[in-house]
Amino acid sequence: MSANTVLWTIAVVALGVVAWIALDRFQRPRERTKRLVMTVWAAFAPYQDAEDAATGLRRAYKAVFGPQPAGAHEEWLNGHIQNLREAESEGRFEFAQKIMRGGLLLTAYGEAFDAACNKLRAQLVDEMQEAANALARDFPPLGDMLQPTIDHHRRRLGTEKPDGSAS
């Protein structure tokens, strides 16, 4: 092999590595963006129907941006929810969800994504705790039996049996 061939090979490999790093950086969802909301929404799917997906989208929004949307964000969020409802009414909800998730999950990584997912998990635990507390108030004998548990290995909420095995 000649010296020129070796130099060209090294240059092509270096260019490929730089391109891969650049693509990785530009595709990664950033903090407080609508794209991050959609990526987190996709990560917590699949959803049973349009209303379930709309609830998931609102939760993902709250994990990324905080409380209720306003202005352009509210319009954007409501537009997505309307699209989900239309897809369901036309019988193509599952297909639309699968296509959307397929694209979004390609970029489901990075610090902003992990942080938003952790916030959403915390929201879900809080919601479960509120529901358990309400049931415990209504049915006092249930008491400690209604406390949510987290199986950190499977990252599912409330799936661990009292003996420590998965349900």
For residue 136, tell me if it sits in a domain: yes
Question: Going residue by residue through the chain (167 aa), what tens digit of pLDDT does each one get?
Answer: 788 898 899 888 888 888 777 766 777 899 999 999 999 999 999 999 999 999 999 999 999 999 877 888 999 999 999 999 999 999 999 999 999 999 999 999 999 999 999 999 999 989 988 888 888 888 887 776 766 666 665 544 444 444 555 44
Residues 6+ apart with CB under 8 A from 142: 135, 136
Indicate whether 8 belongs to any domain.
no
Question: Domain for residue 21, yes or no?
Answer: no
Examine residue 24 and state whether it is found in any structural domain, yes or no: no
With respect to residue 12, please indicate whether it lies within any of the assigned structural domains: no
Whether 120 contacts 60, CB under 8 Å: yes
Kindly state whether residue 66 falls inside one of the protein's structural domains: yes
22: in domain: no
This prediction has a pTM of 0.75
Parent domain of 46: 31-157
DSSP secondary structure letter of residue 33: -
How many domains is the chain built from? Answer: 1
Nearest to 117 by CA among 52, 36, 49: 36
